Structure 1
Amino acid sequence: MTAPRLLRSCLLAALSAVLIASAAVAPARAEPADARAVTFSDTFDGPVGGGVDSSKWQIETGDNVNNHERQFYTPGTDNAALDGQGHLVITARRENPNNYQCWYGRCEYTSARLNTAGKFTAQYGHVEARMKVPRGQGMWPAFWMLGNDLGQVGWPDSGEIDIMENVGYEPSTVHGTIHGPGYFGSGGIGAAYSLPNGQAFADGYHTFAVDWAPDSITWSVDGNVYQRRTPADLGGRAWVFNKPFFLIMNLAVGGYWPGDPDGSTVFPQQLVVDHVSVTTSDSPTGTAIRGLAGKCVDVAGASSANGAPVQLYDCNGTGAQRWTVGSDGTIRALGKCLDVTGNGTADGSTVQLWDCTGGPNQRWIVTGARDIVNPQADKCLDVTGNNSANGTRLQIWTCSGGANQKWTVG
């Protein structure tokens, strides 16, 4: 969460202890390059008033002096419960029946915060949540991640990826941000996304996501990409995002960034979560990548030779069209990698098949908007000349949103 955002010392110590203990029991889930699909999914099915799945989530408790938030995060189902219709409801209330104490005295508000520390970590993939945020001055919902080495290196060296944050005084806008050593708190690196025509995020459900690959993170809202960050954005500071992270979602009340609730704020307020998922597209057999005119990405002549052209062709299910989209950022077929010829970054640089080298010209991101992006060039996989004829060579080109740059994997 943006601002100076450390947990209060007691909470940080408790969470660090969990992380250290879990690391001692089992290794963090850093996936090898040849891993199969890794999936985390929670659709929050269960009875009205039930709690979250304790095999997936733990509930944090306490307050947060560092952000000057006003809420106390409670245990159990007091402020985080299922609604019986496939949603988790995190509720912020202006009440304190248990006489919780906060940094400023008797707490004025209660809410909830959940994380997957010690239960699930991800390293790369598509991370998303479909949510309906609350409304009102002082509300601060967030869906975010922290580096799983938090207990060893501390924050911000652990890294933080904010997938979605909203502050109540900006009802039409959400923010995506990264934090790390030398770029944290108000110095975090990010961007905002706003709905058109003054629509408010609280009026309906929206899907907030990142597509995360080695040396690249891309943010989207409802499939609309609005920023991409790579090490080139850090001015020489350390990129600390090529390692496992755990998930967090919470609803804060007040704090430095959103400001405190005022007389216009109506309570209770709710962050309603429809689903959370983390997916990668690794597959042992590969899958088709379909694009313009419903045709497939194809290796010319089914040749596995270095330099074999990659083209558009009628889908036929052969090995020349079965691609594995890996959590290591590669796209592979016939045992080799999709490669930008000559390490090119200019518009019109062709793509080919080549021995996998780990180079930046072989790294790709498949976004929620169906772009396939080479982060080094910051360009999209493109059908040359928008020509759907069999044999049309594929290239990279400045991302335009055109049909010749839209791809469906699987």
Structure 2
Amino acid sequence: MSRPARALVAGLAALAAAVVPGPATAEPTPGGGMNAAATTFFDDFEGPAGAPVDSAKWRHEIGNGNEGWGNLERQYYTDGTDNAALDGDGNLVITAREENPAGYQCWYGSCWYTSAKFSTAQTFTQAYGHFEARMKLPEGRGIWPAFWMLGADFGDVGWPDSGEIDIMENVGHEPGTVHGTLHGPGYSGPDGIGAAYTLPGGERFSDGFHTFAVDWSPQRIQWSVDGNVYQVRTPADLGGDEWVFDHPFYLILNLAVGGRWPGDPDGSTSFPQQLVIDYVRVTDGATSGGGQPIVGLADKCVDVAGASTDNGTPVQLYECNGTAAQRWTFAADGSVRALGKCLDVAGAGTADGTPVQLYECNGTAAQQWVHTAAGDIVNPHADKCLDVTGADSADGTRLQIWTCAGTANQKWRV
């Protein structure tokens, strides 16, 4: 969530809490963590119904803050299980309720709603990696769920200099759309750098669980929903402003009500509202999420040569190593994506032997693929299969399209 006064109060609340041992911190790994990633933080919210969240992982942030956390928000965050508890089925449920218990005072007077907010500011911070949560979102005007991160140096440098990475924000009157945003010096608040992702076919994020993630490596952050990459940001996107995403951050989960962005609830908004979180997972490399390896001949992987994002970079067969250059997503538009770009038939060719490359996603027929039940990956435009040249299993063998023959060098599993 993204406004300076709210972020300031959030950080001060964390700093004002009882002193505890310092947070587990994962520092940047050499080379951006290009080895197979290990899990550094995980909570699957297993436990009996009604139990509170694990305080060894999460700490409550309580109150309403200065001007409603800087956003004119209408909720008071409590630490009670009426607003956040395990459901006994492996989920954490954050519940926003329409109520005004005595003593819950907000910036404008008595609060209208209660809800809950958690962070790992005192228990876990990390620079770089894969950060994801699987959640089912609420919906309704004035409802504002979020999964986000703040720089762990907030107490020293303040916001926005600490940086903020919004992995997922949703305003409830847009039930099929989520937003991912960066905030930093010169690009904060309404000037944040971001993009939106909308589910196809009028689907809503309240209809079922979806996975929201960022893959964060030096000089690069990539957002995905259900493995579909929809945004990549680098320092080049900041117009000369400072890139401050080079140090540990901490996680935040919350369900706000009202505020400048979503507006206040109205007569169409029902209560209680619930944000249901299945799990939160962090790994130590940005290579473990945002896609899956495509494995073929000799149990080797489809790989982007040199992990380069340049248009025209060869796509090859290579020993599986868990890097981002081998993490592919079969997107809803028929494309196959890695490193924020698409698997592409060079020159939109249809002849046997036309090489396959990485290229800026453009929606053309050269970037349309179908993974069949038989294990073929077919480009329908050419009516040909993704093929390992010469059936050569050596590292670095170029991939191409070829008439589908059912041979081992054309069989792929995800």
State the TM-score bracket (shorter-chain normalisation).
0.7 to 0.9
Tell me the equivalent position of 1:46: 47
Letter of the structure 1 residue corresponding to residue 254 of structure 2:
N
Alpha-carbon distance, 1:83 to partner: 0.6
Could you tell me how far apart the structure 1 residues matched to 2:101 and 2:251 are?
29
In the alignment, structure 1 residue 396 sits paired with structure 2 residue 361 = no
Residue matched to 1:315:
298
Given the superposition, is the C-alpha separation of residues 392 and 258 from structure 1 closer, same or farther in structure 2, using an over 3 Å criterion? same
In the other structure, the counterpart of 1:301 is none
Structure 2 residue identity aligned to 1:63: N
User: Which amino acid in the other structure matches residue 157 of structure 1?
Assistant: D
Distance 1:348 1:14, change over 3 A: closer
Distance 1:122 1:91 in 2: 28
Q: Distance in 1 between matches of 2:42 and 2:262?
A: 30
1:32 aligns with 2:29: yes
Q: Is contact 1:37-1:282 (8 Å) kept?
A: no
Shift of 1:210: 1.2
Matched, 1:7 2:11: no
Runs of 5+ unmatched residues, structure 1? 284-288, 296-313, 324-330, 332-336, 354-361
Q: Percent identity over the alignment?
A: 53
The superposition leaves residues 254-280 of structure 1 with CA deviations (integer Å, 9 ceiling, x where unpaired) of 000000111121111110111111124
Distance 1:279 1:69 in 2: 32
SS in 1 for 2:175: coil
**Residue in 1 that maps onto 2:306:** 339
Q: Is the alpha carbon distance of 1:124 and 1:9 closer, same or farther for their aligned partners in structure 2, counting shifts above 3 Å?
A: closer
**What displacement does 1:26 show?**
6.6
Given that residues 329 and 338 in structure 2 are in contact (C-alpha distance below 8 angstroms), is that contact kept between their aligned partners in structure 1?
no
1:155 aligns to 2:140 (yes or no): no
CA contact (8 A) 1:253 1:260 kept: yes
Q: Is the 8 A contact 1:220 1:368 kept in 2?
A: no
Q: Does 1:240 align with 2:244?
A: yes
TM-fit CA distance, 1:125: 1.9
Q: 1:122 to 1:99 in 2, by over 3 A?
A: same
Structure 1 residue 6, shift from structure 2 partner = 3.1
Higher mean C-alpha displacement, 215-224 vs 184-193: 215-224
The structure-2 alpha-carbon separation of the partners of 1:155 and 1:18, relative to structure 1 and needing over 3 Å to count, comes to: farther
Whole-angstrom CA distance in 2 between matches of 1:408 and 1:166: 36
Distance 1:47 1:344 in 2: 46
Partners in 2 of 1:153 and 1:232 — Cα distance?
A: 23
Secondary structure of 2:6 counterpart: coil
Give 1:67's aligned amino acid.
N
RMSD: 3.6
**Closer, same or farther: CA 212–102 of 1 in aligned 2, 3 Å:** same
Q: Note if contact 2:28-2:247 (Cα within 8 Å) is conserved in structure 1.
A: no
Q: Deviations over 1:159-187 (max 9, x none)?
A: 11111111111111111111111001110
Q: CA separation in 2, counterparts of 1:174 and 1:40?
A: 24
Contact 1:208 1:222 (C-alpha < 8 Å) held by counterparts: yes
Larger mean Cα displacement after TM superposition, 248-257 or 194-203: 194-203
1:409 and 1:107, CA in 2 relative to 1: closer, same or farther beyond 3 A? farther
Q: Which amino acid aligns with 1:253?
A: V
Gaps of 5+ in 2: 362-366, 370-376, 378-385, 387-398, 400-410
> In the TM superposition, what whole-angstrom CA distance separates every residue of 1:53-88 from its partner, at most 9, and x where no partner exists?
111101100114110000000013231100111110
CA contact (8 A) 2:129 2:286 kept: no
- Conserved 8 A contact 1:59-1:76: no
Preserved contact between residue 94 and residue 110 of structure 1 (Cα < 8 Å): yes
In the alignment of these two chains, the number of paired residues is 350
Change (3 A) 1:382 1:194: closer
Look up the match of 1:62.
63
Contact 1:173 1:193 (C-alpha < 8 Å) held by counterparts: yes
Q: Tell me the alpha carbon deviations over residues 295-322 of structure 1, each in whole angstroms, 9 at most, x when there is no partner.
A: 2xxxxxxxxxxxxxxxxxx216xxxx69
Q: How does 1:98-113 map to 2 (within 5 A)?
A: 98-113=102-117
Query: 1:122 offset after TM fit, Å?
Result: 2.3
Q: What's the secondary structure of 1:202's corresponding residue?
A: coil
TM-score normalised according to structure 2 size: 0.74
Letter in 2 for 1:194: T
- Secondary structure of 1:121's partner? strand
